[in-house]
Structure 1
Amino acid sequence: MTFTIATLAPSLLNTNGDAQNANVLAQRLRWAAHDARVVAVEDVADLPDRVDAVVIGSGNDSTLDAARAKLLTLHDLLRRWGTEGVPILAVGTGWELLSWGVERADGSVVEGLGVLPGRAVARSSRVIGDLVVRSPRFGHLVGFENHARDYVQAEASPLGRTLAGDGNGRESGQEGVVMGWVLGTHLHGPVLAKNPGFADAIIAEMAARAGVDYTPGEQAGVVDGYAASAREAQLRGAGVTLDR
């Protein structure tokens, strides 16, 4: 079989290279001797027959309404995928658009798609910097955050606790939101390249749903060494020492 990873509205939602998380999943599958492809979905007409995982990247406020319009054409499918357990990784603005709503700095509000609980609210200043998260589900995750909104009223479980950075803000000590396999995060990057264990957890779920086995390939081990070095450098820069 061929695994298909759909990246949604990448023409608008790829500001920090977040849409490339789809390519990380596909390449790791290929290294494990599985066929995989990435399909860019700008509207419902672009949808492939089968979707094994979904990636939604981040954007900026100038294209917020246009990005919402694109995702709105996929609203029912996003809800169905979430219910069925198709992994959905949404970063930054892409995540915010899956919430109840997005508040701009001028006080105007963009209605979200309501796939994830919570809402994005404007903060007094933009937060930019290293973000380190301890996730009970995916281990320690590193990346960087760059956002001008906090995330509040999330009734689902957070992705994890912040060890460095603001995450969801409001001194919550939390980062991201998780509902089943719908995963929202401020971790930019693409986050899956720097956190291969996170990528493999998503792939393992994709494989399990397809009824096939997944074991990371030999080349993945080589690349993961580079990722480990990058993670160590970022942890040192953030002043975080992990428990061994």
Structure 2
Amino acid sequence: MSVDGENLVIAQLYPDELGVTGDSGNVLAISTRLERAGATVTVVHHRIGDALVSRPDIVVIGNGPLSAVRSVIDDLRRIAPDLTEWVASGLPLLAVGAGMEALGESIVTPDGETIDGIGVFPLSTDRAGARHAGYLVVDSSVGRIVGFEDHRTVTTRRDGAAPFGRVTSGVTGTAGFEDGVRVSNAIGTRVQGPVLPLNPVLTDFLIARALERRGLDWSAGPSHAELDRLAEEARGVILANIDHVFSTI
């Protein structure tokens, strides 16, 4: 549908520290689909010490090493009350990898230190697990998600917390296990790629929830056909090589 005249704000949290696995591509996927439907998009990069944007339409936080989590965690705690309220109100949020961990309740480092998260997501993370690096497929609450993973973590959700989905294909030891977490319209996942350009169904979920809060409906149209075709081709390559295990990434 057309969303001419709408201006949507995307907030990307800590793009310098938590943006190392193509996470700017997730922001670009959202903004491009909106712009092709006639909307204008403002992307706000929240950095350490910045005043938090008053109320964006979509929030994205990406992946990074443990050192990056350490560098942003104090600032993340500063803005935690706003993030908690936004998620409770149904604002759509995507958190990938370390971003999901930091929004959780705790992270146990390989040397046994515990880093307190901000508790937006009801999960804890142990970073001393076996390495998982390869392609994977997740059957999620919003559709089939394709991408890859590269991490040494074990994530445990609190009893009753909903996963984002279940890993149905992959050769890195996670097939059959549940991926990530979902709280209202906030999604945490291990799927990289970046995940949104590869999976328009997830991008459209975030956009639809943002526009729903404005009383508007959303569906992809002819202007999105080429984006969808490119995504489907990339997904096909992954699915054709799903048994490949990465030695390095």
User: TM-score normalised to the size of structure 1?
Assistant: 0.91
CA 1:172–1:102 in 2, change beyond 3 Å: closer, same or farther?
Answer: farther
C-alpha distance in structure 2 between counterparts of 1:44 and 1:29, whole Å: 29
Cα contact 1:30–1:36 (8 A) shared by 2:
yes
Q: What residue number does 2:246 align with?
A: none
Query: Equivalent residue of 2:152, what SS?
Result: strand
Residue by residue, what CA displacement relative to the aligned partner does 1:52-81 show, whole Å, maximum 9, x if unpaired? 010000110122211212212210011011
Alignment counterpart, residue 218 of structure 1, candidates 222, 227, 235: 222
Distance 1:127 1:167 in 2: 5
SS in structure 2 at match of 1:215: coil
Kindly state the Cα deviation for residue 98 of structure 1 after the two structures are TM-superposed.
Answer: 0.8
Distance in 1 between the 2:236 and 2:56 partners? 34
**Counterpart in the other structure of 1:83:** 88
Distance 2:163 2:173 in 1: 9
- Determine what percentage of the aligned residue pairs are the same residue: 33
Query: Equivalents in 2 of 1:27, 1:102: separation in Å?
Result: 34
C-alpha displacement of 1:122: 2.8
SS at match of 2:127: strand
Q: Which residue of 1 aligns with 2:23?
A: 18
Q: Distance between the aligned counterparts of 1:3 and 1:168, measured in 2?
A: 39
RMSD: 2.0
Aligned to 2:153: 149
Distance (whole Å) between structure 2 residues aligned to residue 71 and residue 167 of structure 1: 31
Q: What are structure 2's unaligned runs of at least 5 residues?
A: 1-5, 244-249
The one of 163, 167, 170 aligned to 1:162: 167
- Aligned: 1:9 with 2:21: no
Give the number of equivalent residue pairs: 238
Q: How far did residue 149 of structure 1 move? A: 0.8
Would you say the 8 A contact 1:167–1:175 is kept in 2? no
Question: Match of 1:189?
Answer: 193
Quick check: 2:63–2:98 contact (8 Å CA) kept in 1?
Answer: yes
* Structure 2 SS opposite 1:7: strand
Tell me if the contact between 2:133 and 2:172 (Cα under 8 Å) persists in the aligned partners.
no
- Matched-pair contact (CA < 8 Å) for 1:10–1:19: yes
| More off after superposition, 57-66 vs 79-88 | 57-66
Q: CA deviation at 1:166?
A: 7.5
The alpha-carbon deviation at position 131 of structure 1 amounts to 1.6
Match among 113, 128, 131 for residue 126 of structure 1: 131
1:140 maps to 2:152: no
Q: 1:73 matched to which residue of 2?
A: 78
Q: Which amino acid aligns with 1:230?
A: A
- Once residues 158 and 195 of structure 2 are traced to their aligned partners in structure 1, the CA distance between those partners, rounded to angstroms, is 22
Q: Deviations over 1:24-50 (max 9, x none)?
A: 111111111111121101146343333
Q: Which residue of 2 aligns with 1:242?
A: none
Runs ≥4 in structure 1, deviation > 4 angstroms? 166-169
Task: Say whether the 8 Å CA contact 2:19–2:63 is kept in structure 1.
Answer: yes
Go from structure 1 to structure 2 and tell me whether the alpha carbon gap of 1:114 and 1:97 turns closer, same or farther (over 3 Å shift). Answer: same
Normalising by structure 2, report the TM-score.
0.89
